[in-house]
Each structure stands twice: as structure tokens, then as C-alpha cells.
Amino acid sequence: MSSLAHGAPESTPAIGTSVSADDFKRAFRGHPGGIAVITAYGEKGPVALTASSVSSVSADPPLLIFSVSALSSATPTIIAADTIVVHLLDAEDISLARAGATSGLDRFADTSAWSRLATGEPVYHGVRAWLRCKIVSRMDAGGSTVIAAQALQVDVERDLEPGEAGAALVYYNRSWHRLGEHSRLD
């Protein structure tokens, strides 16, 4: 039970205390996240990482947020970039999602799978959708950085009609899942 009859919390932790990292992870294991691959181009070339933290914030102006872990080798380049590309993936893009999540892999070895936009950012071909974005804000948050970005350009390869099931790719309980008609709960 999280609250009493009068709406007051049963127990409120003192400022500065928090749940353990294991308990926090346990709570979020049951909360699925959509999958995206974030790319940027830096002094050492292109970088990419897989993220399950991408969320739309506003349609007007078109803003999104995501977080990047300090543990990722791609993070310094993404944080330093003025612009990035956010690739919104579906189940057809599982190999790209896995590649972006695998440490030490050259995510740009297959030069036929990606190219640079006229503005310089690396973009993968054939993904469900991608957005070229300008980073508008960065905020340190624990061992991560939260980034807010404004969409400047969009390409939707596999569009969905409102209410259509599609084949969304989500990360849930430490594994990849495909959402579709079979998972619909009307």
C-alpha cells in the first residue's frame, strides 16, 4: 500500500536516502521501453548506442528526451554533439538494436547499412523511422546524462495507421519483445 486513506504516504524516506540499485532495477524490469539507436559523428568518427529511454515530450515544438550512461564509449561523443540522429526501431530492426547494445562491436563496419546525412550525422538505412535532432539541453543525472533534443528532420520508412498493431520492439525484463496484434488488450 503506497498511501493512507487521507492520501499521506505511509513512510516518506528522509532526503538523501533512496532505494537500492537492485530494488530500482527490479521495479523497472516490469516496465517495458521502446527501443532506439542514437548516432552521432565526432572527432574519432561515428558512434552509436541502443537506448530504451527515448520519450516524446512535446509535439510543438517537437521535443524528445533520452538518457545515456557514462559507461558507454559512445556517450562522450553524443554529449558533445550539436546534432544527433534518433532511430526509432521495430522488430525488423532487432539486429541493429543488438549491435548498438553490444560492447566492443564496430557498429559501422558494414558501410552499406549506413551513410552520412548532408549535415554529417550517421544514419542507418531501412529502419522504421529516424529523426535528426538538435540537442537543446543536457542534465547530469547520477551515472547518466539526460538529453533533450528538438527534431529538425524526420524520415518514416514503415508508417502505422492509428490503432494499427505494427511490430513494435520493446525491452522488457532483460529481453527483447515484439508487440503486435497478439499483445493488444482492447
Q: What is the pLDDT of residues 48-60, one digit of tens each?
A: 999 999 999 999 9
Q: What is the pTM of this model?
A: 0.86
Q: What is the number of domains present in the chain?
A: 1
Q: How far apart are CA 124 and CA 88, in angstroms?
A: 11
Q: How far apart are CA 122 and CA 117, in angstroms?
A: 6
On whether residue 24 sits in a domain, the answer given is: no
pLDDT digits (tens, 9 = 90+) for 96-111: 999 999 888 899 999 9
What CATH number is associated with residue 105?
Answer: 2.30.110.10
Q: Where are the alpha helices (DSSP H) in the chain?
A: 21-29, 75-80, 94-101
Could you tell me the residue range of the domain that residue 152 belongs to? 33-158+166-177
C-alpha cell at 29: 524490469
The pLDDT confidence band at residue 44, using thresholds 50, 70 and 90, is: very high
C-alpha cell at 145: 546524462
Mean pLDDT of 57-81: 95
On whether residue 13 sits in a domain, the answer given is: no
On whether residue 63 sits in a domain, the answer given is: yes
Distances (CA, A) of 105 to 28, 47, 137, 163: 27, 11, 29, 37
On whether residue 18 sits in a domain, the answer given is: no
On whether residue 183 sits in a domain, the answer given is: no
On whether residue 147 sits in a domain, the answer given is: yes
On whether residue 22 sits in a domain, the answer given is: no
Q: Side chain identity at 95, as an amino acid letter? A: S
On whether residue 184 sits in a domain, the answer given is: no
